[in-house]
Structure 1
């Protein structure tokens, strides 16, 4: 049976193009649902050019050292982001950026309160805080904002989120998550967002503050005995300053086996060391931590 591009490609042809065996292609198809070939009337699987492209991208990531499951996850995440329509800029984000540009702390606080009351916590985090911090970071990186504008806005947002966490009522006996930035990591806001998301799912949270020592993190783990620990790295600075940081974190997790350790943040995703940690799980979202 011969095929053409419009009809589809047989598994033998896909195998020749990608370098994957027929068995591996079908295994990935059945186990991970990476591609979904159509069936010819005689029962043969027919793969599209898009299917071949997907397999080649997964192979490329795997060849760079990514474990297969992580490569598939990152590929799907990239596809989802590409397919996601760009939302209009939120009115509150525009107002907050204007107040931050003019060092208006009272104005920032008032708009944060208004947005929180209007949207509720979940939408407030996703539609106001996260886009705001992205915009602040871009303005600072581009030189449109000076360091004081970025610092004032970030600190006020951080304090506002901390206040929400302190006033969040949960029943006694709820499971605990300990949230910690890594040593030399001072960006706390992504961690507070994660902890607030966990609280909305019924988890008690404790935050260790910016740039704690590893010994301080382990002391808290042993004293508080949380069910889970969330380690956060917004930048790659912790790994650049301590090339053996991953080994030390893995050793900490090995010594505290009754607690699950997770790590996330752009600093983790962008750092080549974190390809396959053995004791710590990489978390791409709060769902990865809570499931």
Structure 2
């Protein structure tokens, strides 16, 4: 797994990852424009993980019997269909963003309570919290919000979701899902959203908190014996900080085979092609975890 910040790969590494010869990679690049690597100051081509993923998709389509031109057409059609117009923000989200921009914690909390009671938990999570968190991330990335605005707003949202989860009524004997961020992952809110969704399906949930040590995760699995463990990676930082992280997680999973191990989140998608799951399942949706 590449661990540099820009995840730059040389053509030799791309060849090893994809099984394509260097000549084929350069031919596809120059003749068809399938990928467009950058150039280092020394002239070497520098490829990305996205380039590797594109090449693997083309290879997969060719393995299914498509010609190269057909594979290119299918891939580009899929890419164009994936571009979905951004939905307009609801009035609730706009008001919440205004409160967050002004560091109004009390105002944020009041609006969150009102939206929760107005829509019910399921719609509150999908129509208010998820678009709100996405927009906060966009504002921060564009430099329109500073770190303090993002941090304070996120803390209010996180604490509110934790309060809902702790007050959720479940029957006795409900099966347990343990949720945990990966080491070096501090974005908790996506995990709390998923755990609340699990509770609506009758699961008792326990959260391990942000950036726990691997020893802490294993201790909780050993102590609580959950039916499922959901590991969350919103960013790629856990894998960049520890290139052997996935192998270490697999070792923990092999020692606790009574628990199903799941790994999900946006940070996993960038690295999935490098993972070789044995005991751990890569999950893209909550349904994959629950079913």
Which category of TM-score, normalised to the shorter sequence, fits these structures? 0.7 to 0.9
Gaps of 5+ in 2: 1-52, 65-74
Indicate how the Cα distance of structure 1 residues 201 and 79 shifts in structure 2: closer, same or farther if over 3 A, else same. farther
CA contact (8 A) 1:177 1:226 kept: yes
Larger Rg: 1
Separation of aligned partners in 2, 1:208 and 1:92: 30
1:85 shift after superposition: 6.2
Q: Any residues of structure 2 matched to 1:205-216 within 5 Å, and which? A: 205-216=205-216
Larger RCO (CA within 8 A; separation ≥ 6)? 2
SS in 1 for 2:165: helix
Indicate how the Cα distance of structure 1 residues 102 and 189 shifts in structure 2: closer, same or farther if over 3 A, else same. same
Q: Which residue of 2 aligns with 1:280?
A: 280
Aligned length: 226
CA contact (8 A) 1:231 1:262 kept: yes
Q: Which residue of 2 aligns with 1:61?
A: 57
Q: Any residues of structure 2 matched to 1:230-245 within 5 Å, and which? A: 230-245=230-245
Provide TM-score, normalisation by structure 2: 0.73
CA contact (8 A) 1:236 1:268 kept: yes
Separation of aligned partners in 2, 1:180 and 1:138: 25
CA contact (8 A) 2:181 2:231 kept: yes
Describe the superposition over 1:44-78 as per-residue Cα deviations: whole angstroms up to 9, x where unpaired: xxxxxxxxxxxxx99842748xxx9xxxxxx9xx7
Separation of aligned partners in 1, 2:251 and 2:147: 37
Q: Which residue of 1 aligns with 2:156?
A: 156
Gaps of 5+ in 1: 1-56, 69-74
1:132 aligns with 2:128: no
Separation of aligned partners in 1, 2:80 and 2:209: 32
Separation of aligned partners in 2, 1:173 and 1:62: 48
Provide TM-score, normalisation by structure 1: 0.73
Separation of aligned partners in 1, 2:162 and 2:121: 13
CA contact (8 A) 1:233 1:268 kept: yes
Q: Any residues of structure 2 matched to 1:173-252 within 5 Å, and which? A: 173-252=173-252
Where do 4+ consecutive residues of structure 1 move more than 6 Å? Answer: 78-81
